[in-house]
Amino acid sequence: MAAGRFTLAVSPHLHQKGQTIERGMTDVLIALTPAGIVAMIVFGMNAFYVMLVSVLTACLTEVVMRWVLGRKHTLRDLSAVLTGVLFAFLLPATTPLWVVAVGAFLAVGVAKELFGGLGRNIFNPALFARVALMVSPLWLYITKFPRPFFYRTVGFFTPVSVAINNEVAGRVVYRGLFGSVYPDVVTAATPLSLLKSGKMLATTISGPTPVGSTWVTVAGRPTFWAQFLGVHSGSLGEVSVLALAIGACWLLYRRTIDWRIPAGIFGAFLLVTLVTWNYPVFSLLGGGLWLGAFFMATDWVTSPMTRRGKWIYGVGIGLTIALIRLWSPLPEGVAIAILQWNVLTLLIDRYVAEPRFGEVGRSWLNRLPPYPKPGKAEPDKPVPAN
């Protein structure tokens, strides 16, 4: 058999099996599954609807935006699905679904596609959307967290406005479109807002305790096991440390993420909280630290690529989270800390020099060699095509 002409290509002629963008995204989705299941157990169908609407809106936004911008469709790389799930994980299960849709649109449409699509975005899309909603008039919808096992479903159009005045003993009344009043959502303070409000020392809290004392201490704050397994108030995906840790193991095993970033975050955070002795374990297990350290800060696009860069970025995020939690009016700072360091990522990659093989005494700063500016050089002879 005479073979015809073969294709020409530059070496290497092999590619690592299964090393694709889809596979990376799939691995993160697999890793998020345990946390998603816990969310549906703890918060019921609300959690499922929030995730569903978030993913659908994210995908729809990607398709429409790329069509409008005249770009190739990339739904197959699953990054929109992942952004949808991650964004849902940052919301209270009782978020009105239209608010979820607005946020998912901001995540994919603005934070990703307007910046140039996957690979060009500066901010982690899900975190960007979450913080954008926080500073918008919709902030109230996403800062009231339901109690665990509060199962009453909130529909798509249900609440149009929230009257903060109606909050009595942890009850938020959602007002409907035409003055109708919808079922109450029983909210509870998150562990970190308890910490921030100084209620850690209180002996009792008012209001009903829906679950037994396994989950809530007499003082009304979640027990260690409640925090570890996820039976406390908080956003969808952040509550269960166990579920997130299982997912993190998968990501580290698959080498989808680099261990240096979470190591830097946890190391720096623990250092500060241990030195200041501000409920270190309670603070470590509460809030979005685990979700942030393993699933948000490690986002390929928005984290540095060199080893030095990863350490700087990780430690920086850990310190910033500790600073915000300890000395700012905000109870929680994971999202803001990561977004801050997202901005610095490009600078880190550009200026922080990594020593080359065999190089000693390289400075920490990358310097440009003194050559003419782009496009000025003409080669003496043409470069071979192959």
In the complex, the residues that contact another protein under the rule CB under 8 A are 1-3, 5-17, 19-21, 23-24, 77, 116-120, 258, 300-306, 310, 349, 354-360, 366-375, 377-380, 383-386
Least distance (Å) between residue 248 CB and another protein: 17
Comparison of 2 and 135: residue with beta carbon closer to another protein: 2
Comparison of 24 and 237: residue with beta carbon closer to another protein: 24
Least distance (Å) between residue 79 CB and another protein: 8
Least distance (Å) between residue 374 CB and another protein: 4
Comparison of 13 and 70: residue with beta carbon closer to another protein: 13
Least distance (Å) between residue 237 CB and another protein: 22
Alpha-helical runs (H) found in the chain: 21-43, 45-68, 79-89, 97-105, 125-134, 191-197, 224-229, 241-253, 260-276, 280-285, 289-291, 307-327, 334-351
Residues 6+ apart with CB under 8 A from 173: 162, 163, 166, 167, 181, 182, 184
Comparison of 171 and 362: residue with beta carbon closer to another protein: 362
| Neighbouring-strand partners of residue 186 | 171
Comparison of 252 and 330: residue with beta carbon closer to another protein: 252
The sign of the torsion formed by the CA atoms of 37, 38, 44, 49 equals: negative
Comparison of 4 and 212: residue with beta carbon closer to another protein: 4
CA distance 312 to 175: 46
CA distance 359 to 353: 11
Determine contact, residues 58/79, Cβ cutoff 8 Å.
no
The single-letter code of the amino acid at 232 is: H
- Parallel, antiparallel or unpaired: strands 171-172 and 174-175: unpaired
Least distance (Å) between residue 63 CB and another protein: 17
Least distance (Å) between residue 209 CB and another protein: 45
